[in-house]
Amino acid sequence: MRKKRLVKKQPDKSLPARGQLLAAAKGLFARKGLSGTTIRDIAQAANINSSMISYYFEGKEGLYKACIEEIAQNSLMMAERVLTTAGNETEFKVRLQMFLDQIFALFLEDRDTGLILMREFDRLHSPAEKIFRDSFLKILNMLVDYFKQGQKAGVIAADRDPATLASLLFGCLTSQMRMDHLLRNSLLKPEEKRKVENHIVELFTIPPKMKK
């Protein structure tokens, strides 16, 4: 009986060499981690001479930093686009739900990005720690400001600490995405994802019946 041959994913030759290296490295870092990925692995996956890694990124760690920076910048741009001033209570909740939806999409629709970010959240030491910390602290601070805005609008309870709420929301999102592996990718089902998002929004805002 013949063994089925695995089809190797071919590099996208329409990308410049730097982009091909980033795309190939991202998939490898997601599956094997930084220490488990070699320069040779990346060069073979991208079908590019390994010397180009030093030329563009000054080595494997530089390439890893570039991957994290690309992910972080995309996340930051998304937060800047969504977490803007809301005109009323309904818009506040809609924008919060949009933020949740975009974060879930970042982790679930692009599995490589999701796995890399999960690894970074768990790592004690990382060559990309400063890039990761600075970028996601900016998003955290945007959430803090957004919750302060919600307090002024009466959507967030006045006695809640916005910084703690922002931290809890991040923890809630990452825990939910870890649990999703046990629940067999339930968040990929639109109706299930919407239900989870609605529950989170209601947990962090004041229900209408509790308002005076």
What does the pLDDT look like over 109-137, one tens digit per residue?
777 887 887 777 777 677 778 888 888 88
Quick one: tokens of 65? 């930093």
Would you say 205 and 211 are in contact if contact means Cβ atoms under 8 Å apart? no
Give the pLDDT band (50/70/90) at residue 171: confident
Provide the pLDDT for residue 184: 66
Mean pLDDT estimate for the chain: 84
| For the chain, percent of residues with pLDDT exceeding 70 | 87
Provide the pLDDT for residue 181: 67
What mean pLDDT do residues 143-162 have? 94
Got the DSSP string for 99-162? Answer: HHHHHHHHHHTSHHHHHHHHHHHH-SS-TTHHHHHHHHHHHHHHHHHHHHHHHHHTSS-TTS-H
Give the pLDDT band (50/70/90) at residue 185: low
0.75 cut: is pTM over it? yes
| For the chain, percent of residues with pLDDT exceeding 90 | 50
